[in-house]
Amino acid sequence: MTLSQAVLQARRRLAEAGIETPELDARILAGHALGLDRGQMIADSRRLLDADDLARIEAVVARRLDREPVGRILGKREFWGLDFALGPDTLEPRPDSETAVQETLDVIDERIAGGGRDAPLRIADLGTGSGCLLVALLSELPAAYGIGVDVSAPALAVARANARANGVGERTGFVVGNWTEALAGGFDIIVANPPYIPTDDCAALSREVAEFDPITALDGGADGLDAYRAILADTERSLAPSGSLVLEFGIGQRDAIATLARERGLAVGATQHDLNGIERVLVLTLSCA
């Protein structure tokens, strides 16, 4: 069997199993199994595979058929054009979360006087997981320094390695803690993508999510808003007077979070939509700013 025939066969099996992107997954997985990049996959498409090659492809296709996400099989995920290693304790970064990165950069462009992206900003990323939001931001902000907070020490080990691998390790610190509790105040930017799925909805998650993303990254309590309440309760202390809090949230949660923020005396700013046009990110400031 040639490489292209093996990819075709894998694609058919993935499609029959109801995998959403069978063509893409089959290509990526076969390339991963054989150690070939995209160009080599094209150049080698007529290569005859031996039994060992076929066994390696079979092993990764079997994992995908068992609903393991491609990123988990590869052990990494691209986000903001950067590679992020994953571990069992890190959420796999989602493309929608790039909305939070873009919105944070837009806020910095609009609100930070005297230097904007070149200013020595102090950033906190709450629930940093793989570190994707913090590392993506620091890759765009050459003089900024960032703290990643997570309740999971194993996740922070992955985040620290990702910061180093992406060239921003020296401008980061990582802290095990409960949201802002362990932080000093005065951050220019606080960004967070907290767990926001209501507890009862977690049972209905796809196997890809339920079995491979950590539950501490998903379960947001009875109404999905526990983390927002905790973060907002301390925003007045943790944010600099002219700072901005950039929150990612789940479908339909915008108004409830805006109400919680107003109850805390915060000013509710722009709402941004994700790649699917769904409200995804809210910007909050201290109203005295």
Ligand X SMILES: C[S@@+](CC[C@H](N)C(=O)[O-])C[C@H]1O[C@@H](n2cnc3c(N)ncnc32)[C@H](O)[C@@H]1O
Binding footprint of ligand X on the chain (CB under 6 A): 91, 93, 97, 126-130, 132-133, 149-152, 155, 178-179, 193-195, 216-217
- Shortest spacing between CB 125 and ligand X, in angstroms: 6
Q: Is the dihedral of CA 39, 45, 51, 57 positive or negative?
A: positive
For residues 145 and 24, give the distance between their C-alpha atoms in angstroms, rounded to a whole number.
37
- Shortest spacing between CB 227 and ligand X, in angstroms: 6
156: region left, alpha or beta (phi > 0 left; psi from -120 to 50 alpha) = alpha
- Shortest spacing between CB 66 and ligand X, in angstroms: 23
3-state secondary structure of 218: coil
For residues 112 and 275, give the distance between their C-alpha atoms in angstroms, rounded to a whole number.
26
Which of 220, 269 has the CB closer to ligand X?
Answer: 220
- Shortest spacing between CB 61 and ligand X, in angstroms: 26
Q: To which residue do tokens 């039994």 refer?
A: 51
For residues 138 and 149, give the distance between their C-alpha atoms in angstroms, rounded to a whole number.
15
Which of 61, 179 has the CB closer to ligand X?
Answer: 179
Which of 36, 230 has the CB closer to ligand X?
Answer: 230
- Shortest spacing between CB 126 and ligand X, in angstroms: 6
Which of 64, 196 has the CB closer to ligand X?
Answer: 196
Q: What are the CA-CA distances from residue 247 to residues 47, 189, 213, 214, 238 (Å)? A: 49, 11, 20, 20, 14
3-state secondary structure of 129: coil
Contacts of 7 by beta carbon, 8 Å cutoff, 6+ apart: 26, 27, 30, 41
- Shortest spacing between CB 28 and ligand X, in angstroms: 20
Which of 57, 217 has the CB closer to ligand X?
Answer: 217
Which of 137, 155 has the CB closer to ligand X?
Answer: 155
> Residue 114 is encoded by which pair of tokens?
């005297």
Calculate the CA 197 to chain-centre distance. Answer: 15
- Shortest spacing between CB 27 and ligand X, in angstroms: 25
Which of 93, 146 has the CB closer to ligand X?
Answer: 93
Q: Which of 33, 130, 32, 127 has its CA nearest to residue 79?
A: 130
Contact 235, 250 (CB under 8 A): no
